Amino acid sequence: MDYNKVKEGISLLLEGLGVDCNDPHFKESPERVARAWTDELCIGLKEETFHLTTFPMTSGDQPNMIILQHIPVKSICAHHLLPFIGEATVAYIPQKSLCGLSKLSRVVDFFARRPQVQEHLTSDIAQYFQHKLNPQGVGVIIKASHLCMEMRGVKHSGLMTTSALLGCFLKNSTVRAEFMALARLQ
Ligand SMILES: [Zn+2]
């Protein structure tokens, strides 16, 4: 990320929209907006070394489905630079390793904090767990509303649902049905 370029771009955007950055109220706006984009909204781009802690399964651990719902998703649509906001459901069936439940939420946040499209976000999360945890399978569902649809274009609200299924979640219809049934429960 290049903070100076972001700040320069925000200055031009504000100038183009007729906001007077010499006005004391808006003097700090380019810096404030640039900091929000680089340090908060897109902070995932800075964390290249995010590490997933895993634990080996012991003889008492069963390879059952582990599912976390209502994970907040706040991301930026790269088509329109407007937010999309919703919830994710992440599940996996372990093979040899487990990860802490909060890490499911943490990984969603890591990938959400960058400009992208919801389809890629969903598959990035699934691929990450498949790669790092090597489970029997992974399922990710994201439901989100998009300000680029609500504030522009058709100007209607709607919930976009995307899913990414890997391993046994894709190949085994019983696993897929269990995941979909659990994901529907509140
Ligand atoms: Zn959009």
Per residue in 90-127, pLDDT (tens digit) is: 999 999 999 988 999 999 999 999 999 999 999 999 99
Compute the distance from residue 139 Cα to the ligand 1 centre, in Å. 24
| pLDDT band of 2, cuts 50, 70, 90 | very high
Domain with CATH 3.30.1130.10 in the chain: 54-184
Compute the distance from residue 97 Cα to the ligand 1 centre, in Å. 37
Structure pTM?
Answer: 0.92
Fold type of domain 54-184? GTP Cyclohydrolase I, domain 2 (3.30.1130)
Indicate if the pLDDT at residue 185 is higher than 90.
no
| pLDDT band of 35, cuts 50, 70, 90 | very high
Burial grade of 56 (CB within 10 A; 0-12, 13-18, 19 or more): exposed
Compute the distance from residue 149 Cα to the ligand 1 centre, in Å. 7
pLDDT 10s digits, 25-34: 999 999 999 9
Check if the beta carbon of residue 154 is closer than 8 Å to that of residue 42: no
Residues contacting residue 15 through CB under 8 Å, at least 6 positions apart: 21
Which pLDDT score, from 0 to 100, does residue 58 have? 86
